[in-house]
Structure 1
């Protein structure tokens, strides 16, 4: 089982909303590297749910992949902000996964706190210039972050 970190703007999908919904589709990823990471996900993989582009960015909890990558329907929806005019039902370059809530942390683990952890120095999230919305997390990085959450 692999571990990941996935970013979402809380007004789009927050950990609290996912908890209320139980499960949701994770879509709208429009970066090829992030898309490829999504395509590498398997059912049962866990990920840190990161709130981005908000007053208090950071890891808000944990969720799990419940359906492996499939064509992202928002790419074909002309009313969606994630519409891709070059996508077609036969050739949709974008992927989505289904996810479910696992745990909401008592408090958000801030980006500043994460950057202070030596064990996370190689985590793409804390690298200067890294803007990926989906990224792998090693077992060691997962353990270091979990230690902060307890």
Structure 2
């Protein structure tokens, strides 16, 4: 079992519950279905919802949950060929350090929006027709995203 230390009391409580559920699972299996239901692992935190910050014509094509703090969304507009990234907090509140970034490897290009925000970071846009993109979101030091995904038609780069 891997345990990730969290600075918050909530993170410690969730870890303790998950560890207790794992430790009790063998005993619950021996006790039968009723005991298994009683020791089920806690539900995952609700993910943030896409807020439409990229504008009209953009659809969510990928996302990554940033722990319990929020979600980073990769969107695409097929009419313009542009990707857009926005990082959205699960629960808006006091301004915290956030980032939304989007890039591709060749030629090396990255656009980002970094600052202290109450609700979301971004949007950032990049025309990446025919390319794979790398995208990230960060909220208070916790990071999520993906490298080299959502590749456009590579035939677009051939002569």
* TM-score above 0.5: no
Determine which structure has greater relative contact order: mean sequence separation of CA pairs < 8 Å that are 6+ residues apart, divided by chain length.
Answer: 1
Q: TM-score range by the shorter chain?
A: under 0.3
Give the TM-score normalised by the residue count of structure 1. Answer: 0.25
Give the TM-score normalised by the residue count of structure 2. Answer: 0.24
> Whose helix proportion is higher, 1 or 2?
1
Q: Which has the larger radius of gyration?
A: 2
